[in-house]
Amino acid sequence: MLDILIRNGRIVDGTGLPAFHGDIGIQGGRLARVGGQLTGPARHEIDACGQVVAPGFIDPHTHFDAQLMWDAQARPALEHGVTTVVNGNCSLSLAPLRAEHRPKLVSMFQQIEEMPDAAFDGAFAWEWESFADYVAALRGRVALNVAPLAGHSPLRMWVMGGAEAQKRAATPDEIRAMQDLLRDCLEAGAVGLSTSYVDMDENLFPVPSRFAHFEEIDALAAVLGEYGRMLQVVPEFYNTDITLARVDQLAELSLRHGIPTTFSPLFDSAVMPENVSRVLDRVGEQFQRGARVWPQVQTRPIDISFNLEVASLFFIALPAWYLTLRMPRDRKLAALGDPGTRQGLIDAAEPGGDTQRFAHLRVRDSRDASLIGRNLGEIAKERSTTPAAALIDLSLDEDLGVHFLSANMGHEDPSRIGPLIANDLVHVGASDAGAHIQSFATYGDTGYLFSEFVRKGHHLSLEHAVRKITGETAQIWGIPDRGLLRSGMAADVVVFDPETIARGDERPAHDMPENGMRYVREARGVDTVIVNGELTWSAKGGYTDARPGVVANA
């Protein structure tokens, strides 16, 4: 008897080949049959008429490290159809890590990924030091699959000590010790190594990985070569020449050691319109040489968020505003409340009564829940005022605590992003899911891929889009047994409506440990999510108690 039978689906198998209609049978955690008309019987049947049946989505750039320890489902990623996550990105992982280095690592996570104290402090029992013990701690605990990277920063701290790791080059003996430690991680199931060239710790001092000379990275890449595993890096932002240099470094390592490499993120911006095309030209040249240097590109646009507590550069083109917001707090509050100054600010932002500049700004967080998600244009109309006046008044009402969002400030032009993510040299990823949780929602990029670039822009076919986040991702990362709907493979399956799949609106949620706040987006159009043959989420029933996730390479 089958465990699950999915009937009448439109099967998009992750290869990019045309969809076809048929049934899918699941037994013992594996795909027993893909296609045809199955007679059953089955313990559980799903009618997928009118829906797509696809491999579970794989997110190659997340920071769910801590969250997975108290939220087995990495909510809300799972309900978006994500069945495998790569964590440990950007040089930061929860293992290998000596107990005495935990406070330091937690501080770095808090600084870089904006994780609150409560996400670590008492939220889970931290009982491992080695990577093998970390993998063991994940086993039986998680609802989705985990493909963990070993972080270069904790690797350095383990071998050199916390202080020395942020001070100097490693000695040859220390490099050999790091190689041995990395080998242990890869043996235990690490999918590769992550490093960072940009991140800062809690003291705004470079993280340990940035003190590594090229010889150290080269030696660690040699160990990755023994296993054919991935090197992930974070390059500098908004400087094309540096990104090109990083591409060349990665290509050299890729060719020398036979490894795949990836850098994330690569994004498009009106500030540097040539950036992406120049980088892709170089990536193309390096692929021609046989190197593998995968630029990760996110699907979602980038927003700017701010409140009037600080002088955001968002206002730098408006001297009256920028100078007022730079005042000491007491003077600023007085100035914003002064009728003459207030009117001067409004006139500067809305010359000649043109109210467009701030009308699109959305309230992203406020004590008044009825305001959240609405734009200043609407709110101003309701209050018979202007958007600039509403911006000031709402801020004063809550002692400058109201947060606003200017959406689509970068990586926002679908006519440029669509062809970019369809490009064969581009790896769709860089979601950063689970990070920056108090600044913006990092969930739902997969839904956005379908709503914006398949349905609306027609930049990718349905099959191409599915391949980009399933079969192609598994292939790039060397994640075995996943990413395709093929008999005998692990049964990670998502059922969704191709006409409605999307990301929900961004909203604040208080679902972190100790009721901490984060921004989330719920899934739209996803019907069922199956991991290793077990139902983990459905639109009708929500999350289940199943914990079928595994460490993908262990």
Site for other proteins in 204-263 (CB under 8 A): 204-206, 209-214, 216-217, 236-242, 244-246, 248-249
Q: Which residues inside 82-111 make contact with other proteins, applying CB under 8 A?
A: none
Helix (H, G, I), strand (E, B) or coil at 210: helix
Residue 277 as a binder of other proteins (CB under 8 A): the answer is yes
Angle at 421 between CA 418 and CA 422, to 5 degrees: 80
Q: Residue 361, CB half-sphere, CA atoms under 13 Å: how many?
A: 29
Residue 187 CB, shortest distance to other proteins, in Å, is 26
Contacts to other proteins from residues 411-430, by CB under 8 A:
416-417, 419-420, 422-425
Among residues 379, 394, 380, 396, the alpha carbon closest in space to that of 336 is found at 396
Q: Kindly tell me which residue out of 126, 294, 440, 450 binds other proteins, with binding defined by CB under 8 A.
A: 440
Q: Are strands 518-520 and 507-509 parallel, antiparallel or unpaired?
A: antiparallel
Shortest spacing between CB 394 and other proteins, in angstroms? 19
Whichever of 2 and 231 has its CB closer to other proteins, that residue is: 231
- Please provide the DSSP assignment of 354-406 as one string: --HHHHT-EEEE-SSGGGTT-BHHHHHHHTTS-HHHHHHHHHHHTTT--EEEE
Residues binding other proteins: number (CB under 8 A): 77
Among positions 507-546, residues that touch other proteins (CB under 8 A) are: none
Site for other proteins in 114-143 (CB under 8 A): 114
- Please identify, among the stretches 48-56, 122-130, 277-285, 485-493, the one whose residues bind other proteins according to the rule CB under 8 A: 277-285
Q: Which two tokens stand for residue 476?
A: 């790039």
Does residue 302 touch other proteins according to CB under 8 A?
yes
User: Which of positions 373-412 make contact with other proteins (CB under 8 A)?
Assistant: 409-410
> Which C-beta is closer to other proteins: that of 173 or that of 424?
424
Select from 8, 314, 341, 348 the one that contacts other proteins (CB under 8 A): 314
Q: Is 316 in the site for other proteins (CB under 8 A)?
A: yes
Q: For residues 69 and 419, what is the distance between their CA atoms, to the nearest angstrom? A: 38
Comparing CB distances to other proteins, the nearer of 84 and 305 is 305
Residues with Cβ within 8 Å of residue 221, at least 6 apart in sequence: 193, 231, 253, 256, 257, 259
Q: Taking the CA of residue 229 as centre, how many other CA atoms within 13 Å lie in the half-sphere pointing to its CB? A: 27
Name the minimum Å distance from CB 5 to other proteins: 39
Tokens 């970390």 — which residue? 134
Our finding on whether 310 is near other proteins (CB under 8 A) is yes
CB of 87 to other proteins, least distance (A): 18
Q: How far is the CB of 241 from other proteins (least distance, A)?
A: 5
Cis peptide before 339 (omega within 30 of 0): no
